[in-house]
Every structure is written in structure tokens, then in C-alpha cells.
């Protein structure tokens, strides 16, 4: 009787492990985030992504001439959308030209709203969009 219970428990455990995604798969993209309203009064759905380094939030999605609107600290941070633009700062050896619209943890102006480089996100390939974050609509510049 105990052998049958042990075998049955083993089958149930094996079945649950077979359907559970590995940790890498669960973290392969961003996940649903809160609904937010930016400093212009626009409301957005978001995706939450882990960032691994502190980064400046910029008023435009490129470096030359951009002003810092705030600072985003490393954590699980939400992103509104992303778009291709100028070259990112090279954090940790990563290279990219995607920028993500979000709000910083600190604010200098515009409520800290602006763009962070994709190289600050914990995963994503060189010169590729961050998985799980929608592409900004054409003509959206924050």
C-alpha cells in the first residue's frame, strides 16, 4: 500500500515538473505591469522588466543633446513601450539602439518621465527589442 502511494506521489511530482517552465523561461521576457499616467496626462498599460544597473532617464531617446529627467534604480521596473533610436550607453558590454519609455525613481523635471537605454535591462540581445515590451506607436516620442 505504501509503495503504491509513493509511486503515485512520484508520478504526480514528475507531471508537475514536466509542465512547470524552467526558471530561465519564466524570466525570458517582461511581464504585465501596472496602468500608469505620464506627466502629459496620457494613460498606458505597461510591462515590468528587471533592470540591473542605475541609469539616467532622458528626455529623448538618444544621447547627444538629451537632458536627464530623472534616475531609475536597478529593480523590477515597468516600461510603457520601446523604440529604435540612437546608440545606447554601453553598460556591461551590451550594445543596443532600443530605448524604453518609463518614469524614474527620482525626478528633475517632467516628473522623471523619459527614456532609458535597453542596455540597462537585465536581458535582451544586442540590437534587439526587449522581449515582452511593446513597440511604441509610430510618431511617439514621449
Please work out, in degrees rounded to the nearest 5, the angle formed at the alpha carbon of residue 72 by the alpha carbons of 125 and 91: 35
The predicted structure's pLDDT at residue 93: 87
Where does the pLDDT of residue 28 fall: very low under 50, low under 70, confident under 90, or very high at 90 and above?
low
Where does the pLDDT of residue 98 fall: very low under 50, low under 70, confident under 90, or very high at 90 and above?
very high
> What's the rounded Cα separation, in Å, for the pair 119 and 95?
7
Q: By three-state DSSP, how is residue 119 classified? A: helix
> What's the rounded Cα separation, in Å, for the pair 99 and 77?
14
Q: Mean per-residue pLDDT for 93-97?
A: 93
Cα distances (angstroms) measured from residue 27 to each of 23, 93, 101: 6, 21, 21
Better pLDDT: 29 or 134 = 134
Among the residue ranges 9-23, 71-85, 114-128, the one predicted with the least confidence is 9-23
Cα distances (angstroms) measured from residue 117 to each of 12, 15, 140, 141: 44, 41, 16, 14
Amino acid at each position: 500500500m505504501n509503495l503504491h502511494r509513493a509511486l503515485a506521489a512520484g508520478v504526480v511530482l514528475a507531471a508537475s515538473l514536466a509542465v512547470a517552465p524552467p526558471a530561465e523561461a519564466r524570466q525570458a521576457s517582461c511581464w504585465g505591469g501596472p496602468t500608469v499616467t505620464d506627466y502629459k496626462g496620457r494613460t498606458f498599460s505597461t510591462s515590468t522588466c528587471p533592470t540591473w544597473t542605475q541609469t539616467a532617464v532622458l528626455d529623448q531617446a538618444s544621447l547627444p543633446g538629451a537632458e536627464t529627467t530623472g534616475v531609475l534604480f536597478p529593480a523590477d521596473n515597468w516600461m510603457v513601450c520601446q523604440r529604435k533610436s540612437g546608440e545606447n550607453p554601453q553598460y556591461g558590454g551590451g550594445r543596443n539602439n532600443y530605448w524604453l519609455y518609463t518614469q524614474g525613481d527620482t525626478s528633475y523635471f517632467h516628473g522623471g518621465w523619459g527614456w532609458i537605454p535597453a542596455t540597462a535591462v537585465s536581458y535582451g540581445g544586442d540590437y534587439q527589442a526587449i522581449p515582452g515590451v511593446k513597440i511604441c506607436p509610430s510618431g511617439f516620442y514621449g
